[in-house]
């Protein structure tokens, strides 16, 4: 197993310190393969097992591009469930400690929409949410995705299994055409291939079997 240090990447000294304080000393295999592509701004389809560290892979990419001085959603992470959305948001908030005042907001079903609307009105940099609630906010015009420069589809295979992919497509079409799109999945079934690749531009493909 190769263990590459995060210091090989074009990350800020503050972020390298933050990663060390989180106990992240070496990149996991999926991070080592995907981060150079993500930080370069390329589209990516990455296949890796659960527990392999995919959140930090796309999270560091999001934060690398983000301008904290601009109070508009610049990144959108679409997840299949509320629980996964909360997990992703928690990890993004830990990574964002090194990036200044960054607001990460979850928009998921189960919670009432009204406080979400208030949070949106106050401004957020990163949105993490489930397809149904994201579409609700788009329909009510409480969510504006026109400043999104990074779109992440997390656990895409589960979103397909749950019948969410048409919703995901609709959400992607509400983002600017010119953006970075990153798709993470444990598997990459034929059933999503055509649709998914329609959402990405000239993607790189990465597949990692090892978890650590
Ligand atoms: P996945 O989304 O691939 O299932 P996660 O992003 O949830 O995986 O990460 C799985 C676990 O590994 C988490 O507990 C996370 O804190 C930890 N982790 C991620 N990257 C590293 C790293 N480079 N070094 C140590 N632990 C890590
Ligand atoms: Mg994950």
Report the complex ipTM: 0.99
Determine the Cα–Cα distance for residues 41 and 209; give it in Å rounded to an integer. Answer: 24
Q: Measuring CA to CA, which residue among 137, 129, 124, 134 is closest to residue 96?
A: 124
pTM metric for this prediction: 0.97
Mutate to test the pocket of ligand 1, among 2, 53, 84, 158 (most ligand atoms within 8 A of CB): 53
**Domain for residue 180, yes or no?**
yes
> How far is the centre of ligand 2, averaged over its atoms, from the C-alpha of 174 (Å)?
24
Instruction: Please tell me the total count of domains within the chain.
Output: 1
Q: Which atom number of ligand 1 is nearest to the Cα of residue 49?
A: 3
The alpha carbons of the chain give a radius of gyration, in whole angstroms, of 16
Tokens for 51? 């527990």
15 within ligand 1 shell (Cβ under 6 A): no
**Angle, nearest 10°, between helix axes 165-173 and 190-199?**
10
Does any domain span residue 131? yes
Range of the domain at 115: 29-208
Proximal ligand: closest to the CA of 157: 2
Q: Does residue 7 fall inside a structural domain?
A: no
Termini Cα distance of the chain: 8
- The ligand 1 atom nearest the CA atom of 52: 3
Residue nearest to atom 12 of ligand 1 (CA): 53
| pLDDT tens readout for residues 131-164 | 999 999 999 999 999 999 999 999 999 999 999 9
Instruction: Tell me the average pLDDT across 76-102.
Output: 97
What percentage of the chain has pLDDT greater than the value 90?
Answer: 88
What is the Cβ-side half-sphere exposure of residue 33, based on CA atoms within 13 angstroms?
22
Residues 13-58: tens digit of each pLDDT: 999 999 999 999 999 999 999 999 999 999 999 999 999 999 999 9
Q: Is residue 97, in this structure, part of any structural domain at all?
A: yes
Q: Tell whether ligand 1 has an atom less than 6 A from the beta carbon of residue 94.
A: no
In a domain, 3, yes or no: no
Domain with residue 119: its CATH number is: 3.40.50.300
Q: Which residues of 27-36 are buried (b: 16+ CB within 10 A; e: fewer)?
A: bbbbbbbbbb
Task: Taking residues 175-186, report their average pLDDT.
Answer: 97
The reply to whether 9 falls in a domain is no
Q: Which of 74, 77, 55 is nearest to 66 (CA)?
A: 74
CA dist 90 and 192 (Å) reads 28
132 occurs within a structural domain: yes
- Residue 83 inside a domain? The answer is yes
């Amino acid at each position: 197993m190769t263990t590459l240090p995060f210091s090989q990447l074009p990350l800020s000294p503050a972020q390298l310190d933050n990663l060390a304080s989180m106990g992240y000393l070496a990149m996991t295999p999926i991070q080592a393969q995907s981060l150079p592509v993500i930080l370069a701004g390329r589209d990516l389809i990455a296949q890796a097992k659960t527990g392999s560290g995919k959140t930090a892979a796309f999270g560091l990419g999001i934060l690398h591009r983000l301008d904290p001085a601009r109070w508009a959603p610049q990144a959108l992470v679409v997840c299949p469930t509320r629980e996964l959305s909360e997990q992703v948001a928690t990890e993004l908030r830990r990574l964002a400690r090194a990036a200044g005042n960054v607001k990460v907001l979850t928009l998921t079903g189960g919670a009432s929409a009204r406080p979400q609307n208030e949070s949106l009105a106050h401004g957020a940099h990163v949105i993490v949410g489930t397809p149904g609630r994201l579409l609700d906010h788009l329909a009510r015009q409480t969510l504006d995705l026109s400043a999104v420069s990074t779109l992440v589809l997390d656990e895409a295979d589960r979103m397909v299994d749950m019948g969410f992919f048409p919703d995901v497509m609709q959400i992607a079409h509400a983002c600017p055409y010119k953006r970075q799109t990153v798709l993470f999945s444990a598997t990459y079934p034929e059933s999503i291939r055509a649709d998914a690749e329609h959402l990405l531009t000239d993607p790189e493909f990465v597949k990692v079997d090892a978890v650590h």
